[in-house]
Amino acid sequence: MSRNRDIRGFFGKPADSSSSEPKRNKSSHPMLDPQPAPSIPGTPPQLTSKPRDRTDEIKGSDDEDDDSDDSLESISVFIERKHGPITYKRDTNITSTPKAKRVATNSTYKSPLTIQPKHKFDLKYLVNHARQSDKADESARRADELINQSDDDGDDDDQNQFLADVQNDPALLQKTAKDLLDNDDEDAKGDKLMRAMNRTKVVGPHSTCYFFSLEPSPLKPSRWPFPHRAATGCWRCLANSQTRDQAFIHGLPHTIVTKGHALPDELFLWILDEICIERNAQLRAQYCNLVAMRPDSITRLVTDVRLYSMLEKIGGPKYPRENSNTKLPTYSKLENPYPRKDWGGLAAFLELLERIAPELSISNRIGAIQLLLRLALDPVASIAVPSEHAAAMQALVKTLPKQRTRQWNEICVKLSTYVYEIVDSPLHYVAAISHMPRGNSKALDLRQRMAAAALFQDVSLSRQPVNEPLKLDAIMSRLDEDDFRVNGSTDFENLRSLVMLLDIVIDNASFLHPKEPQPAQAPLPQKENHVVSSSTTTTTTTTEADFDTAIDRLTFRLKLIHDKIHDSNQLARKVTKSSIDLVAKRLTYAVRTRPPPKTSIFDLDPSSSAAAKQEDENAPRQRAFMKNWSLKRTMENKEKEKGKDVEDVEVGGGGGAGRSANGNGNGDANGDKEKKKKNGNEGVGGSNGGK
């Protein structure tokens, strides 16, 4: 079948276009008229093209690879030409912008603001940058060689000693910093490096006490064997090691205890030892619940020795001998002292201690509190389980005997002596005392007594409440000692710790209130009661004024210490200044009875009693001087007003006379309205003028 035939021949008999279709009159359509249209003047002549037959093949129309739109453009142009004349296009030279008539030639005059050419590559800068980069790489290489050399030596003690000597000796530190740089022209940079190292020192204790062993803990700690002899009768279900854990998890031992069967002591002690070393959290929880259900066994079997042995299996310390409060070993602070430590056993131990605290004996409670105080010295362990530690400590202190009893005073002395003897640095005192809870009056009293014993280095202060023996003069004299003075050798970490201890001792400053005796007298009549109440109000006001004066003296003394610290971009100094400022603001705005008065640099020192007396003596004389000065100014003002009144009278009288001479006859009406208000003088002058 021919490719160019009519498609209608496929459906039936081919039709002859000349016979079947009537011939159309091509001249009937104006667009197909072969006669050329008359040309319009001013327009280009119309172009006519030969009509194409429908069977003619257009070249390139079936080319599928050609994706261009050139054929479409040619068809559109062809259709436009068939339907109408070609659009007229103006000459581009007519619409373009005309060129300038004059062209600038080379001139000898140039602008003073010459533009410097910017090169794509500045060779001098690249060379300097390369030199600095080489120096930095060389310094890093030298540092790596020193570190590798110290590691190859294998003597950790010598290395630690060398690092300690470098940190404590500024000259050696400066020499080491210069060795890392070039010795020829880098002396100034060595000094800068040393200052930068001093600024970036981490704020923390010089040495710290670790509760757990620094050696890596074994993967499988030693365990006591299960007491098969005790697993008889109803406890036979725990004899099989394969089903024992499932029995505990499903609560089978709890059900047996609930029904009244006693838990054997061997099983009770085995469960206590399994609490800290068990990895399964469900088993730990079930062990704690089962132990808490046996209060009689807790009182008999749970001692402070047993508590230490529970923690000893996970790296805790051994139980110290009685009455041997030796100093704890201190270590330099490490970044990660307990790598991959599981704190689940310690958290379970503290939760159990919180639950069994009421069932422990008094001596065992004291031992448990001492254990928690020693745990508080560890900066890592105390932060790992803070909520459990605080809850256990609060539960133990809450179950101690009542306050203001002989037994309570003995317990406070024993605990204060323990903290004072095992450590000897204010940093460690604060670390242990700050973890004491403040939820009840017992904890607050114990906390304040321990802080007073550590601050004044006198354990006898813990035998009674601090507010009774403490005086303001004792605090002021303590602030004048050497450890509170700021000089070139001041340890700002210790100073900050001492200020925190002082804040705990002062608390609400109730020791500054004078203790007034309570008179036991019969009630007075009603008329005299009014007089008594007035004197009582005056006494109360005087007492509050004395209390505020004492607080101002103490605050002023702290401000002097604060102002002497020059924080030269050192973090330890900044932290110390902020701590002192916080204590001073708490005393001023939380402890003081009234807002502080505004003071200036010309005011006297409130901390000096002589200055206070001098101020009281000078106050009446100053008041009398101000009173005389104000009276003198008042008399001068009155005399000036009288002189003005006399002048006004003379001026008002003349005006009235002139008006009356003109025949008006009324001096008062012609006077000034403002002058009529001054004692009627204008009226008198007006009447005289009228006459």
pLDDT tens per residue, range 557-579: 999 999 999 877 778 888 999 99
Residue 353 clears pLDDT 80, i.e. is over it: yes
Picking from 11-20, 378-387, 451-460, 559-568, which range would have the lowest pLDDT averaged per residue? 11-20
Residue whose entry in the numeric block shows the structure tokens 């000349």: 18
Report yes or no: 287 and 278 within 8 Å, Cβ to Cβ: yes
DSSP reduced 3-state for 208: strand
For 440, which DSSP code? S
Report yes or no: 2 and 14 within 8 Å, Cβ to Cβ: no
Query: pLDDT value at position 530?
Result: 37
Percent of the chain with pLDDT over 90: 34
391 vs 355: CA distance, rounded Å: 10
Residue 448 clears pLDDT 90, i.e. is over it: yes
pLDDT tens per residue, range 39-86: 444 445 555 555 666 666 666 555 454 444 444 455 555 555 445 555
Percent of the chain with pLDDT over 70: 60
Residue 667 clears pLDDT 50, i.e. is over it: no
Query: pLDDT value at position 219?
Result: 72
Confidence of residue 127 (pLDDT cuts 50, 70, 90): confident
Confidence of residue 596 (pLDDT cuts 50, 70, 90): confident
pLDDT tens per residue, range 378-399: 999 988 999 999 999 999 999 9
Mean pLDDT along residues 2-15? 62
The amino acid at 613: K
Q: At what angle do helices 441-456 and 492-506 cross, to 10 degrees?
A: 140
Task: Tally DSSP H helices, then E strands, for the chain.
Answer: 26, 0
State both tokens at 649. 């009278």
Query: pLDDT value at position 194?
Result: 63
Report yes or no: 659 and 667 within 8 Å, Cβ to Cβ: yes
Rounded to the nearest 10°, the torsion over CA 78, 79, 85, 86 is -50
Q: In terms of Cα–Cα distance, which of 243, 252, 219, 432 is closest to 340?
A: 219
- Beta bridge partners of residue 331, listed in sequence order: 208
For 69, which DSSP code? S
375 vs 116: CA distance, rounded Å: 71
Residue 482 half-sphere exposure toward CB, CA atoms < 13 A: 2
Rounded to the nearest 10°, the torsion over CA 9, 11, 15, 20 is -140
Report yes or no: 283 and 250 within 8 Å, Cβ to Cβ: no
pLDDT tens per residue, range 156-185: 555 555 665 665 566 666 666 666 655 544
Q: What's the chain's average pLDDT?
A: 75
Query: pLDDT value at position 586?
Result: 94
**Between 543 and 180, whose confidence is greater?**
543
Q: For the purposes of burial, counting CB atoms within 10 Å of the CB of 433, is it exposed (0-12), middle (13-18) or buried (19 or more)?
A: buried
- Beta bridge partners of residue 208, listed in sequence order: 331
Query: pLDDT value at position 11?
Result: 67
Residue 132 clears pLDDT 90, i.e. is over it: no
Q: At what angle do helices 265-277 and 281-292 cross, to 10 degrees?
A: 140
Residue 105 clears pLDDT 60, i.e. is over it: no
Mean pLDDT along residues 669-681? 44
**Between 660 and 506, whose confidence is greater?**
506
Residue 414 clears pLDDT 50, i.e. is over it: yes
282 vs 636: CA distance, rounded Å: 95
Q: At what angle do helices 609-661 and 681-690 cross, to 10 degrees?
A: 20
Report yes or no: 659 and 644 within 8 Å, Cβ to Cβ: no
Residue 670 clears pLDDT 50, i.e. is over it: no
Q: How far apart are the first and last CA of the chain?
A: 150
Residue 620 clears pLDDT 60, i.e. is over it: yes
Boundaries of every domain in the chain: 170-200, 233-399, 470-515+543-607, 612-690
pLDDT tens per residue, range 324-337: 678 888 888 888 88
Q: For the purposes of burial, counting CB atoms within 10 Å of the CB of 537, is it exposed (0-12), middle (13-18) or buried (19 or more)?
A: exposed
**Number of neighbouring beta carbons within 10 Å of residue 60:** 10
Query: pLDDT value at position 142?
Result: 79
Please give the C-alpha separations between residue 506 and each of 288, 509, 635, in angstroms, as whole numbers.
41, 5, 54
Residue 533 clears pLDDT 70, i.e. is over it: no
pLDDT tens per residue, range 428-445: 999 999 988 888 899 999
